[in-house]
Amino acid sequence: MAWFGGVNVAIFFSMNKPCEADLYGPVKAYLMGQGYDVKGEVGAADIVGRRGDDVVVVELKLGFSLALFHQGIKRLEVTDDVYVVVPAGGKNKMVLSNVKLARRLGLGVLTVRLRDGFVEALADPGPYAARKLKKTKKVLLRAFDSLEGDPNKGGSTRHGIITGYRQDALKCARFLAVHGASKGAKVAEWTEVQNARRIMADNHYKWFTRVERGVYRLTAAGNVGLADWGDV
């Protein structure tokens, strides 16, 4: 039986489906351990902690949701120290994305491991300063520069998203459709696709087949692809 700051955490865990009340005991104990006097259901807030003039407000939910973030933002009208709390789960991409969103909003994030009441702070409240990643920007600009024209028209076409790689593959396919089996160097020269040989060798779309060393021709799937993507 686990005790935190004089609070018996076990009594807050239901034996069946978890509920928001299961989060209350561990969070109260966590805040009491930091010197807060803690009370539940104060006004519209799930939990309020007071330590002298310092006030912390906590909102409990069984999972991240837009409503949870709305509540957290509303509580920022009272204090800068606002936490949202959810049960602990795997730190997958969805959780990390929600933590990043919380940071952008100035909210803290706590998780509660229901089996033993362990509370972990994934983020603390405070102003968010976005960290620019040069590598991410470089990848974005490379994708921008590789596109000819604006084929995606705001993000969608009847085919899906067009990439610069697919545009280059289509150029190679069109050349082979007209000239038949050709050397990769010739395809690269005439289409001005520098990595034409690599595109045909990798054969990502199953449009090409190697006839002999360095020579490629169009497959039946390539002909279908040209018909499918002829408007690109």
In a domain, 132, yes or no: no
Length of the chain counted residue by residue: 232
For residues 120-158, b (16+ Cβ closer than 10 Å) or e, as one string?
A: eebbebeeeeeeeeeeeeeeeeeeeeeeeeebeeeeeee
CATH number of the domain that residue 190 is part of: 1.10.10.10
Residues 118 and 182 in one domain: no
Could you tell me if residue 186 is inside a domain? yes
Indicate whether 55 and 150 sit together in one domain.
no
What pLDDT score does 153 carry?
Answer: 62
Domain range for 159 is 146-228
- The structural domain count of the chain equals 2
Count of alpha carbons within 13 angstroms of residue 78, beta-carbon side: 23
One domain, residues 88 and 11: yes
Identify the domain boundary among 85, 108, 123. 123
What single DSSP character describes residue 130?
A: P
Same domain membership, residue 101 and residue 166: no
In a domain, 128, yes or no: no
Same domain? For 83 and 174 the reply is no
CB-based burial label for 45 (10 Å; 0-12, 13-18, 19+): buried
pLDDT in the model for residue 17: 76
* Surface-to-core class of residue 1, CB atoms within 10 Å of its CB (0-12 exposed, 13-18 middle, 19+ buried): exposed
34 and 115 in a single domain? The answer is yes
Residue 1 is predicted with a pLDDT of: 42
**Looking at the structure, do residues 50 and 86 belong to the same domain, yes or no?**
yes
User: Are 182 and 99 members of one domain?
Assistant: no
Indicate if 113 and 179 belong to the same structural domain. Answer: no
Q: Is residue 134 part of a domain?
A: no
Q: How many helices (H) and strands (E) does the chain have?
A: 8, 11
pLDDT of residue 27: 92
On whether residue 169 sits in a domain, the answer given is: yes
Q: Are residues 101 and 14 in the same domain?
A: yes
Q: Do 112 and 156 belong together in one domain?
A: no
Residue 114 and residue 7 share a domain: yes
User: Tokens 């509580």, residue?
Assistant: 75
pLDDT value at position 18?
77
The CATH number given to whatever domain includes residue 71 is 3.40.1350
Does 100 fall in a domain? yes
H helical segments located in 121-182: 134-146, 164-179
Tell me what pLDDT residue 14 has. 45
Q: Could you say which residues of the chain have pLDDT below 70?
A: 1-16, 90-91, 128-130, 150-160, 230-232
**Position 83 in a domain:** yes
